[in-house]
A and B are shown apart, each in its own frame.
Chain A
Amino acid sequence: MLKVIDSAVPVACWSCSVAHNESTLFCPHCSKIQPPPGGNYFSVFGLEQKLNLDLNALEHEFHRLSRKVHPDRFARSGENERQWSLADTALLNDAYRTLKDPLRRTEYLLKLQGAEIGEEHSGRDKKDPSRAPADLLEEVFDLNMQLEEMRMGRQMGETDPDLQASLEQAKKKFDGLLSDVDRDLRQQWNLWDEADEPARKSAEKNMVALLDRRRYLSNLVRDVTETLGAE
């Protein structure tokens, strides 16, 4: 059974009507599967809100819970049970997908803390130079020019080897900057996980900035990789 972390509101089981704690997947009285419990992705796994996670333990718990709630276990059950199994499993999968990925996990935790962060996958702002981090403005401007030149050349069926080398150089540099960001993020994780409330707020602010920078860099690297990779 799940550990209860959030203060739970008692609700009645849909099947046996006995009141139970809201954060449970199965009714303690009649053992029937219940609608998705309240709480958040961390509480789904009985975890405290922390950024450093034991991924092996997380996977193990994901598999253990999947065995219990997956729709395959309820294929021949009644309509209610099939419906709750589907909803519970969707929640479980969404939670696992978010928590196992370091960036999604960070974004999610920051959102839980009320932070405003950009959308990872919206496809917007990809080439908006106004959002370039201040220290990179000049380089990004040059890089975008080179990328444009490279694409034009490609369309005409030619590749300038100097341009190619310069782009590869740039990619290497931005890859390096990305790893720097990742290292800095991990430092902030440790700070957040161990700190008290005021220090947490400052770590959150830093992480929001780091995520923005990371998003910008990784879009840039993707553009360069795509342009270099295109035949």
Chain B
Amino acid sequence: MAEGRVVGIDLGTTNSLVAYMQGDAPVVVPGVDGSNLVPSVVALDPMPADGGRPTVTVGNSARKVLIERPERVIYSVKRLMGRGLQEIQNELKLFPFRLADDVEEGEVPRIQLGELRFTPPEISAYILRQLKRNAERFFGAPVTQAVITVPAYFNDAQRQATKDAGRMAGLDVLRLVNEPTAAALAYGLDRAKVGTIAVYDLGGGTFDISILKLRDGIFEVQSTNGDTHLGGDDIDNLLLAIALDEIFSEHGVDLRSSPGAVQALRKAAIEAKIRLSTEQSASFDIELPNGDRYQREIPRNVFEMLIEPVLERTAGPCKQALTDAGVTPEDIDEVVLVGGSTRIPAVRKLVDDLFHLSARGKTPHVELNPDEVVALGAAVQADILAGASKSTEEMLLLDVTPLSLGIEALGGTVARIIQRNSTIPASATEHFTTGVDGQTNVAIHVVQGERELAADCRSLARFDLKGIPPMTAGMPRIEVRFLIDADGILQVSAREQRSGLAAEIEVKPTYGLTDEQVESMILDSFDHAEEDFAKRLVIEARLEADSILTKVDAAKQSPAWSQLAGEEQSAIAAAESRLAEVKSSSDANAIRNATVALDQATHRLAELMMDAAVSSALRGKTMNAAGEQLNESVTAPHPMAAAEFK
């Protein structure tokens, strides 16, 4: 096929990943640093002296800025996607970011980041662009089409915002896929052909539960439920709040006013939470600005009591999803756990209780890394859409809309036109007429939600049907067709049946950007001189070359260097000078090859640099792997990643 690859992207609250289908198995594409996960953190570099736009960095390098310059960093932006001013103000109480001063009700809120202001989709676009670049670097070819995952319980505005972000990042978003469904796809590749599965997905900021029926490669979602406001972040905030209170009451230090200190504390809280998944106890030990130490032991049972209310909030949606699917816990053949928060033993206990697992001699599926499984599933869906592969040609995903669609009727009640858990695409046709003689406009208010009153549902958009031919009241017959597409996004069309005219519709999305706004936010128009693809590859290859050269240079100072034989030293020197030579050329492949050659040549040096025990465990590995071990970071090295010594 002439078209390029379609990649699968998990745009997460905490981390984002890009994956693709390698043969018949999905694989995550690692970043320049060799890590599969790109932290969903975006930082703004200092303003350049020449008054140009500052560089935006994404991922691990942005995370490092978090403690030093918190006012220039934003994270967990997914929680702000597709939300209105009021909702964002509530959300921001938990985070150190602030809204731009000039935000008005009715427009998409912008977040102040250093000197500049960004809408949430723009921030997400930077993350997506980073993933796109990682993939392009990995394939050595442009990537323009993607599948992006969203929480199943995302509403129309949140989905549209995600699609807008993709467009801003230069991606043609072929499909939005629900995260739990993607996880089921990732597991479904080599699994039993018939059965009912429940996917429990507790991520950084969102919770989803989906019940699916599998039959001959068709993944038919029966029901879905969730909470787009519930996740690991809430647990972090609980621990953080306790620490802040105790530091204030015991040491008289109020850290709340110091964003950098709050970030340091948040980091400690997250580390404690992670330790508590494997250990019986974790502790805080933090030096305070006044020289005191805040030391605090958190036993696992205390932690579990603390988080119980958060976890309990996942039970209701699970029960509702079972009811809506018309099944009992005993009907569930398999449970799949997704999201980093499902590593918490108390979460597993809750899931076991909800679905009567151990009572039936079953265990939930955790074989795939819960941080990666959604991206892997997105890659499977990308492969299905590309339609070019044998391994997925029999597979088809039939998903549902998580929320009912309704229109506001007289008296502010809701007339439901598409029920929640309807398979999408789904449509409904309604007829409208006029109430006054000669009336040429009809306004329709569309809402999403399950409540009886429109005011209690979420406003989706106001449609103004215009250009109705003037007639006696009640005479026009306007047929309006509502269609929820395969991305879960609403499309509306209208026709006046007596005159046969297509009615003109003006859409006012309640929360969202207009087409023109999205157009103006396309990232390439920011980087006005966005280098063409080949140029960018060369620049990146040079950066990697510089990085390994610096590290090898530093390694020469280590005692290991003198342990090398003379010919080994000269082989390294030769590889070094070869790389130094090609580095200034504009041949990205030559630079890459020389980088890899140097990496290979330093293989034994890396081994020697480890202590004997570690080096024996690593025998046969390259400098990259050694570097990884030295960093103690758990990552899959990329074959072309520069070695890292620290």
**What is the interface of chain A, defined by CB distance below 8 A to chain B?**
59, 63, 66-67, 70-73, 75-76, 86-87, 89-91, 93-94, 96-97, 121-124
Chain B nearest Cβ from A9, distance in angstroms: 18
Q: Give the residue name and chain of the B residue nearest to A126 (CB).
A: B452
Question: A123–B416 contact, CB under 8 A?
Answer: yes
What residues of A have a CB within 8 angstroms of the CB of B390 in the complex?
none
What are 20 A-B interface contacts by the 8 Å CB criterion?
Answer: A66-B396, A67-B396, A70-B396, A72-B381, A72-B486, A75-B174, A75-B386, A75-B387, A76-B3, A76-B174, A76-B385, A86-B485, A87-B483, A89-B486, A91-B427, A93-B423, A93-B424, A96-B423, A123-B415, A123-B416
Which of chain A's residues have a CB closer than 8 A to the CB of B384?
Answer: 72
Please indicate the chain A residues that have their CB under 8 angstroms from the CB of B486 in the complex: 70-72, 86, 89
Given contacts A76-B174, A86-B425, A94-B427, contact A123 B385 (CB under 8 A): no
Q: Which residues of B contact A97 (CB under 8 A)?
A: 422-423, 426
Contact with A along B43-85 (1 / 0, CB 8 A): 0000000000000000000000000000000000000000000
> Is B416 touching A121 in the complex (CB atoms < 8 A)?
yes
Task: Report if B315 contacts A (CB, 8 A).
Answer: no
Cβ-defined contact, B387 with A66, below 8 A: no
| Complex interface: chain B residues within 8 A of A122 (CB) | 415-416
Within the assembled complex, what's the spacing in Å between the Cα atoms of A123 and B414?
A: 8
Say if the beta carbon of B398 comes within 8 Å of chain A: yes
Q: Name the interface residues of B1-53: CB closer than 8 Å to any CB of A.
A: 3, 6
Give bound CA distance, A59 to B215, whole Å: 10
**What's the minimum C-beta distance from A215 to chain B, rounded to whole angstroms?**
15
Chain A contacts of B416 at CB under 8 A?
121-123
Complex Cα gap A123–B419 (Å): 13
Given A66-B218, A66-B398, A70-B396, A76 contacting B413 (CB threshold 8 A)? no
Within 8 A of A (CB), among B388-438: 396-398, 413-416, 419, 422-428
The smallest beta-carbon distance between B480 and chain A, in angstroms, is 15
Cβ contacts under 8 Å, A73 to chain B: 387
Given contacts A86-B486, A122-B415, contact A93 B385 (CB under 8 A): no
Cβ A90 vs Cβ B218 within 8 A: no
Complex interface bits, B262-280 against A, C-beta within 8 A gives 1, otherwise 0: 0000000000000000000
- C-alpha spacing A70/B397, complex, angstroms: 9
Cα distance, A97 to B421, chains bound together (Å): 10
| A63 and B426 contacting across the interface, CB-CB below 8 Å | no
For the complex, is B175 an interface residue (Cβ under 8 Å from A)? yes
Kindly state whether residue B216 has any CB partner on chain A within 8 Å.
yes
A4 to chain B, nearest CB (A): 23
- CA gap between A91 and B426 in the complex, in Å: 7
How close is B400's CB to chain A, nearest CB, in angstroms? 10
CB <8 Å contact, A72 and B385: yes
In the A-B complex, the 8 residue pairs with the smallest Cβ-Cβ separation, listed nearest first, are A75-B385, A90-B425, A90-B427, A71-B486, A93-B423, A75-B174, A89-B425, A121-B416
